[in-house]
Structure 1
Amino acid sequence: MENQNSCKLLIDLHIKFLRQFLFQAPKNFVFYEYTRPTILFFMISGLDILNALNVLSSEEKLGICDWIYSQQVKLKPENDIEELRKCGFYGSRTSTVKDCDNENLSQLNVGNLAMTYSSLCTLIILGDDLSRVNRINTLKAVKYLQNENGSFLSSVVCGENDMRFVYCAMVICYILNGFSYINIEKTIQFISQSVHYDGGIGLKPNLEAHGGSSFCGIASLFLMDQLETALTSIQMKNLKRWLIFRQQSGFQGRPNKDVDTCYSFWIGATLKIMGMFSYVNWEENKNSILLCQNTITGGFSKCSHTEVDLLHTYFGLYGLSFMNITGLNEMHSALNISMRAYEHLKVLHNLYKTNSYW
Structure 2
Amino acid sequence: MGELEGKKHVQYIVSVEKKKDSFEALVIEHLRLNGAYWGLTTLDLLNEIEAVKPDEIVQWIMQCQDIGSGGFGGNVGHDPHLLYTLSAVQVLALLNRLDVLDIDKVSDFLRMIVQLYLLVHLSLYLDVAGLQNEDGSFSGDMWGEVDTRFSYIAICCLSLLGQLSKINVESTVNYIVSCKNLDGGFGSIPGGESHAGQIFCCVGTLAITGSLHHVDRDLLGWWLCERQCKDGGLNGRPEKLADVCYSWWVLSSLVMIDRVHWIDKEKLTRFILNCQDKENGGISDRPDNAVDVYHTYFGVAGLSLLEYPGIKSIDPAYALPVDVVNRIFFSK
Q: Structure 1 length normalisation: TM-score?
A: 0.83
Higher mean displacement: 140-149 or 205-214: 140-149
Higher mean displacement: 210-219 or 334-343: 334-343
CA distance in 2, matches of 1:131, 1:47: 22
Query: Aligned residue for 1:225?
Result: 210
Query: Aligned residue for 2:12?
Result: 17
Contact 1:13 1:298 in 2 (8 A): yes
Moved over 3 A (4+): none
Q: 1:31 Cα shift?
A: 2.7
CA distance in 1, matches of 2:200, 2:135: 20
Paired residues for 1:37-186 under 5 Å: 37-56=33-52, 60-75=53-68, 86-94=69-77, 108=78, 110-128=79-97, 130-143=98-111, 144-156=130-142, 158-186=143-171
Q: What secondary structure is seen at the aligned counterpart in 2 of 1:89? A: coil
Deviations for 1:38-93, whole angstroms, at most 9, x for unmatched residues?
A: 0111110010111111223xxx1111011111222223xxxxxxxxxx33212223
Aligned residues with identical type, % of pairs: 29
Q: Structure 2 length normalisation: TM-score?
A: 0.89
CA distance in 2, matches of 1:134, 1:10: 39
Contact 1:321 1:330 in 2 (8 A): yes
Deviations for 1:106-140, whole angstroms, at most 9, x for unmatched residues?
A: xx3x4211111000100111121x22212112212
CA distance in 2, matches of 1:236, 1:54: 39
Q: What secondary structure is seen at the aligned counterpart in 2 of 1:68? A: helix
Contact 2:16 2:25 in 1 (8 A): no
Contact 1:264 1:319 in 2 (8 A): yes
CA distance in 1, matches of 2:257, 2:263: 13
- Runs of at least 5 residues in structure 2 that lack an aligned partner in the other structure: 112-129
1:247 matched to 2:257: no
CA distance in 2, matches of 1:257, 1:323: 22
Q: What secondary structure is seen at the aligned counterpart in 2 of 1:284? A: helix
CA distance in 1, matches of 2:330, 2:192: 40
CA distance in 1, matches of 2:173, 2:88: 25
User: What letter is aligned with 1:345?
Assistant: I
* Cα root mean square deviation, aligned: 1.6
1:344 matched to 2:327: yes
Q: How many residues align?
A: 311
CA distance in 1, matches of 2:49, 2:297: 14
Contact 1:7 1:290 in 2 (8 A): yes
CA distance in 2, matches of 1:22, 1:339: 25
1:299 matched to 2:269: no
Paired residues for 1:191-210 under 5 Å: 191-210=176-195
Contact 1:163 1:216 in 2 (8 A): yes
Question: Which of 318, 323, 333 is matched with 2:301 structurally?
Answer: 318
Q: 1:347 Cα shift?
A: 4.9
Contact 1:221 1:227 in 2 (8 A): yes
Contact 1:124 1:344 in 2 (8 A): no
Query: Aligned residue for 2:246?
Result: 263
Query: Aligned residue for 2:126?
Result: none
Q: What secondary structure is seen at the aligned counterpart in 2 of 1:283? A: helix
Q: 1:304 Cα shift?
A: 1.0
User: What letter is aligned with 1:152?
Assistant: F
Q: What secondary structure is seen at the aligned counterpart in 1 of 2:210? A: coil
Deviations for 1:219-277, whole angstroms, at most 9, x for unmatched residues?
A: 1111111112x34xxx3332121112212212111011111111010000101111111
CA distance in 2, matches of 1:9, 1:131: 35
Contact 1:195 1:201 in 2 (8 A): yes
Contact 1:41 1:122 in 2 (8 A): yes
